[in-house]
């Protein structure tokens, strides 16, 4: 994986949160949190917490006796998450998912929303999740399904690729939508030592206030921006416009909606 595939810095966290958060991430965050086991106390760890979309729901819905710890590799993402309302009860900590700075059997639940696709060694990261879980604890995560089953992202990706035909940016296909085969996910989790692995395919509808929102989100609020600017330091506005035009052609102008699909995985320590 190119190193810039995991860089969320500068204005990316704010644009990611504003333009993609409500459109594609919040619906799955709601789904993920409702799958949590009932906790009256104890501790929950979120890895690859990003801008805190799941974290904020955890903070709002879990009893105050439950300790919430949220980690991410990118400090700018955590800084943005910590600035949101209702986060005072959350402990934020910069951490690499492959080397978690926590004791063994410290947490009752580990959650990860759309983060494991970025891990350079998923089995190693899963072993770390298992290590910090109490025996019988739950690991709950989700991943995007194939790009072809997420047309909002597919249309934006294809439009940007057409702007650079000699060297098309492929971030969305290469990372967020590249880890979705049930057999591979099961094998990786089993290799790490997890049991009772269950995988659900969850199809939802994403909605945006305008066709321009996801265009800005994908092009300027994700690491695809790093690819665009590497090819043309001044090419970001044109690439964003191309994505917006393609989205308008496919879904219409103004408020739009589209299908999206993900895999939701639960496993036991």
0.85 exceeded by pTM: yes
What would the two tokens of residue 95 be? 């951490």
Task: Give DSSP secondary structure letters for 105-139.
Answer: T-EEEEEEES-GGG-SSHHHHHHHHHHHEEEEEEE
Residue 26: what pLDDT?
A: 97
Walk me through the domains of the chain, giving residue ranges and CATH numbers: 3-268 (3.40.50.150)
d(CA 258, CA 204): 9
Residue 197: what pLDDT?
A: 98
Are β-strands 195-208 and 256-268 bridged in parallel, bridged antiparallel, or unpaired? antiparallel
Q: For 252, which DSSP code?
A: -
Average pLDDT along the chain, 269 residues, taken 10 residues at a time: 68 93 97 96 98 98 98 95 97 97 98 97 98 98 98 98 96 97 98 98 97 96 95 97 98 96 98
Q: What angle do CA 217, 221, 222 make, to 5 degrees?
A: 105
């Amino acid at each position: 994986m190119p190193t810039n595939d995991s860089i969320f810095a500068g204005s990316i966290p704010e644009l990611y949160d504003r333009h993609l958060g409500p459109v594609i991430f919040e619906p799955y965050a709601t789904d993920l949190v409702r799958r949590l086991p009932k906790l009256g106390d104890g501790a929950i760890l979120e890895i690859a917490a990003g801008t805190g979309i799941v974290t904020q729901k955890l903070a709002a819905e879990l009893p105050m006796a439950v300790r919430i710890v949220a980690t991410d590799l990118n400090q700018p993402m955590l800084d943005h998450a910590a600035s949101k309302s209702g986060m005072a009860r959350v402990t934020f900590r910069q951490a690499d998912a492959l080397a978690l700075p926590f004791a063994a059997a410290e947490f009752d639940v580990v959650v990860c929303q759309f983060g494991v696709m970025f891990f350079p060694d998923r089995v190693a990261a899963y072993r770390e999740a298992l290590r910090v879980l109490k025996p019988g604890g739950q690991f709950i995560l989700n991943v995007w399904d194939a790009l072809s089953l997420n047309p909002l992202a597919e249309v934006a990706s294809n439009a940007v690729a057409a702007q650079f035909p000699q060297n098309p940016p492929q971030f969305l296909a290469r990372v967020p939508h590249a880890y979705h085969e049930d057999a591979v996910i099961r094998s990786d989790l089993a290799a790490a030592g997890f049991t009772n692995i269950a995988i659900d395919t969850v199809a939802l509808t994403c909605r945006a206030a305008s066709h321009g929102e996801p265009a800005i989100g994908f092009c300027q609020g994700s690491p695809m921006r790093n690819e665009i600017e590497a090819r043309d330091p001044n090419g970001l506005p044109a690439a964003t416009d191309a994505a917006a035009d393609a989205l308008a052609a496919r879904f219409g102008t103004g408020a739009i909606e589209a299908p999206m699909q993900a895999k939701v995985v639960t496993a036991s320590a």
